[in-house]
Structure 1
Amino acid sequence: MKTLHFKTDVNCSSCIATVSPELEFKDKIQDWSIDITNPDNILTITTDYTEAEVKEILEKVGHKAEPVPA
């Protein structure tokens, strides 16, 4: 597994509640968190998914994600 970082538009607890079901129950995701205190709302995710697949998961529930270097 690798740890990836994304700039997102997930900026409140309601937004986290929206993406949580999509990230919680995936076999390829070990751990994830979103730092909404960071101006870029950074998603840190430990996963076997590719950056493109993680981006697609968030877009599926109406949120944007752009990969950023660790």
Structure 2
Amino acid sequence: MEKLTFKTNIKCGGCVATVTPYLNKVAGENNWQVDTQDPNKLLTVEGATAQQVKEALQEAGYKAEPL
């Protein structure tokens, strides 16, 4: 499966902790990462569709826009 990249509003370690169970559910552990140092807060995901990722983040209270 291809890697997908999203611009998010996940800003810190606490945010990452909040979204972890949601992203693990749709993509699996170790199949995603968030670069909170990047100004766009880039989320890279492998093993899930863009729709699954957007829905999981929305459920967790965050937003994601595909790049």
Q: Which has the higher helix share?
A: 2
Q: Which has the higher strand share?
A: 1
Gaps of 5+ in 2: none
Identity %: 41
CA positional deviation for 1:66: 0.2
Note the aligned Cα RMSD (angstroms).
1.4
Note the 1:36-55 alignment, pairs <5 A: 36-47=36-47, 49-55=48-54
The residue that corresponds to 2:15 in the other structure is 15
TM-score normalised to structure 2 length: 0.88
SS in 2 for 1:58: helix
CA positional deviation for 1:50: 1.8
CA positional deviation for 1:36: 0.2
Equivalenced residues, count: 66
Cα 1:50–1:25, aligned 2, differ >3 Å: closer, same or farther? closer
TM-score normalised to structure 1 length: 0.85
